[in-house]
A and B are shown apart, each in its own frame.
Chain A
Amino acid sequence: MRHIISILVENEAGALSRISNMFSARGYNIESLTVAPTEDASMSRMTVVTVGSDEVIEKITKQLNKLVEVVKVVDLSEAEHIERELMLIKVRAGAKEREDVKRMADIFRGRVIDVSDNTYTIELTGDGAKLDAFIQALDQSAILETVRTGSSGIGRGNRILRA
């Protein structure tokens, strides 16, 4: 099963590597990992998307909690949550394709953020599946470059993760 784990961690040098080390040393997989400071600059929030059985996920959360710099860990997928990912995608958009590409971007509520004679760069947010769908919907040979941030997540409603 796919799980999305949120981690509050002290904003210290080495914390990221301690966490990613733990995953690789113990053979747990990371589908994506994002990290950035929170409103409290002394703390970062990390979102890790991983795949594993319930037992494996339990082991992962225990091992994360064991790391000295980890303040809090929550498995967002245990309850209602929202998940978003940002993608920047550069596609070929010559005179002939321009309109189609723009229309497709509109359908997915993407925004064209950079234009050249023969390219569009489109910004798109959504959950991973939506970004996948957009990539699928494009003419594959037109895709020049793709960059995705990996998922960030947050609990719905009053579900709050704080130190």
Chain B
Amino acid sequence: MDRIKTEELTGAQILIRCLQAEGVEVVFGYPGGAVLWIYDELFKQDKIRHVLVRHEQGAAHAADGYSRSSNKIGVCLVTSGPGLTNAVTGIATAYMDSIPMIVISGQVPTHAIGEDAFQECDSVGITRPCVKHNFLVRDVKDLAVTMKKAFHIATTGRPGPVLVDIPKDVTTHTCEFQYPETISMRSYNPVKKGHAGQIKKAVQLLLEAKRPMVYTGGGVVLSNASAQLKDLIKRTGFPITNTLMGLGAYPGTDDQFLGMLGMHGTFEANMAMQHCDVLLAIGARFDDRVIGNPAHFASDPRKIIHIDIDPSSISKRVKVDVPIVGNIPDVLSDFLGLLEKSKTQDIKVWWKQIDEWRGKDCLKYDRKSKIIKPQFVLEKLYEVTGGGAFITSDVGQHQMWAAQFYKFEQPRRWINSGGLGTMGFGLPAAMGAQMANPGATVACVTGESSIQMCLQELSTCKQYRLPIKIINLNNKYMGMVRQWQQFFHGNRYSESYMDALPDFVKLAEGYGHSGLLIDKPADVEPALRETFKRKKDLVFLDFLTDQTENVYPMIAGGKGLTEMILSEDL
């Protein structure tokens, strides 16, 4: 038997040891009264690097971006009360996109809990609906095992953020420290292996399909199943679409890829979704932005196979025929094994139909415009970075254009808030991506409205020399709000105009970075080329773009997949 080594440590020391034992290299945080002892211990060691953000929302988004862009887990550390409440938007963002993340929050001392103490809030209560799980550690003896549980829960099954709330006195109390090597919980045992009978049934359906379609989401990215997915698509010759969260799981330049689907998906992807006879959904959840109206979706008959790690995602909005609960790479490997000896149907006719839909060229825009078209900037961004950059985005039109025009070749390169739709996500997420991938090219695609929501992080970027490239598509409007107001509110642009904008170039310079204003289409590419040569600097590119441009195709809220508004319709 192994010799068990124990030593008497304080709660703060134990916490740091736990993080080290989990291989944590970076913590994003902001100090405060309740976490002083934890910060004291951080100070005394050099294995974990602390990144001081300028607002706790930034810490949560950065930890989130760190997780999304790597296979490591992001950790954020905040103080009690406002420290935690500031982080809530970031926690909810990670939760909606199933991003593994550990949030450590300080709490007032145990004896003061419930007495409305200074900087007290019910952190576990406030975060309960937006975490996978959370803990309040009342006794230092429970700390190590709670941390082990937190990492276990955050990273297994359907991942998600886990919060550990630690009262200040717990960080000073001592006990013998021993970090558990494994943990087992009777109430938490996520399924891994898919049901063999269901997998057989699913493969049979795929073999019989005349109009097959594969639709994959963020689950493929999160479970690192891209290799298996590629094999499956190549082996079957089936068409594939990715959700906003799933981009990069399958190479964006491949012929079998129909582009993103959904509210702003391509004509061909949406049409193929509606008209297929067998749909294979993998790690996706048929949400409202993806299939629109479920009744409309159900109006065409098709068999649906749904693979997901989370049983509650299956048959939630759309009734499926063959549910398979399991870890995606394992299930797909099982599929491939069964497909080896069999032959799929000839689907030439189906591809002919799809190519006809493709002929619509639904993403076309005015390439001769004298004003910079946002789509043009993104096309050039793609060309200049060769499709290999980490692209984070904020929320709105620019996000959709980035998803449509940047062809992601690899998973974990496209980092955006898909579920919660959090403006302000882009810049701090880029910090996380850059910390997780030092030396890699990281760009943040944003708009003049979104960027102002976490603008203070420019200071963090300076302090840690994060050479992020900010692509600001500045149309002086909350573009997506303006677009909806144009379409559905009689052109009444209520409060969507962004007045009194700062001079972004000067602003970037004020933070010690460089900035550049680009207002002519001819200057777009040279500016990008010059910018991406500067490997060490953060450069803020302020592109003045067409104020009236809209994102097409578009499916209005409550409409069906085939009821798209195309640019040519207007």
Contact = CB atoms under 8 A, between A and B. Distances in A.
User: Do chains A and B stick together as partners?
Assistant: yes
Interface of A: 9-10, 13-14, 17-18, 21, 25, 55, 58-59, 62-63, 65-66, 68-71, 163
A17 B134 CA distance: 12
B128 A62 contact: no
A14 B187 contact: no
B339 interface: no
Contacts of B311: 62, 65-66
A68 B128 contact: no
A66 B325 CA distance: 13
Given A62-B311, A65-B311, A70 B124 contact: no
B222 interface: no
A59 B316 contact: yes
29 contacts: A9-B187, A13-B136, A14-B124, A14-B125, A14-B134, A17-B128, A21-B128, A21-B129, A25-B129, A55-B315, A55-B319, A58-B315, A59-B312, A59-B316, A62-B314, A63-B312, A65-B311, A65-B312, A66-B158, A66-B310, A66-B311, A68-B132, A68-B153, A68-B187, A69-B133, A70-B187, A71-B186, A71-B187, A163-B186
Interface residues of B, number: 21
B118 interface: no
Nearest to A10: B187
- A-B pairs with the 3 shortest C-beta distances? A62-B312, A68-B133, A71-B187
Contact of B187 (A55, A58, A69): A69
A163 B506 CA distance: 63
B188 interface: yes
Interface in B183-199: 185-188
A158 B443 CA distance: 62
Contacts of A59: 312, 316
A54 to B, nearest CB: 11
A55 B315 CA distance: 9
Contacts of B132: 68
Given A14-B124, A14-B125, 4 more contacts: A9-B187, A14-B134, A14-B136, A66-B310
Contacts of A55: 315, 319
Contacts of B185: 68
Contacts of A14: 124-125, 128, 134, 136
A9 B124 CA distance: 18
A68 to B, nearest CB: 4
A1 to B, nearest CB: 18
B208 to A, nearest CB: 27
Interface of B: 124-125, 128-129, 132-134, 136, 153, 158, 185-188, 310-312, 314-316, 319
Contacts of A70: 187
A18 B128 contact: yes
A58 B311 CA distance: 10
A136 to B, nearest CB: 39
Nearest to B314: A62
B128, B133, B136, B312: most-surrounded residue (chain A CB, <10 A): B312
A93 to B, nearest CB: 43
Contacts of B124: 14
Contacts of A58: 315
Contacts of A71: 186-187
Nearest to B130: A25
Contacts of B314: 62
A90 to B, nearest CB: 34
Nearest to A42: B186
Contacts of A63: 312
Contacts of B315: 55, 58
Contacts of A163: 186
A74 B185 CA distance: 19
A10 B312 CA distance: 21
A69 B134 CA distance: 10
Nearest to B189: A71
Contacts of A17: 125, 128
Contacts of A69: 133, 187
Nearest to B190: A66
A163 B132 CA distance: 22
Contacts of A10: 187
Nearest to B134: A14
A62 B187 CA distance: 14
A17 B316 CA distance: 23
B83 to A, nearest CB: 21
Contacts of B319: 55
A62 B132 CA distance: 15
Q: Which of B128, B134, B314 has the most CB of A within 10 A?
A: B128
A13 B113 CA distance: 14
B124 to A, nearest CB: 6
Contacts of A18: 128
A55 to B, nearest CB: 8
Nearest to A25: B129
A105 to B, nearest CB: 42
Contacts of B310: 66
B318 to A, nearest CB: 11
A25 B95 CA distance: 15
A13 B137 CA distance: 11
Contacts of B128: 14, 17-18, 21
Contacts of A25: 129
A57 to B, nearest CB: 12
A63 B316 CA distance: 10
A12 to B, nearest CB: 9
Contacts of A65: 311-312
A38 to B, nearest CB: 13
B502 to A, nearest CB: 38
A44 to B, nearest CB: 12
A60 to B, nearest CB: 10
A120 B319 CA distance: 54
Nearest to B313: A62
B162 to A, nearest CB: 9
A26 to B, nearest CB: 10
A13 B310 CA distance: 25
Contacts of A62: 311-312, 314
B559 to A, nearest CB: 23
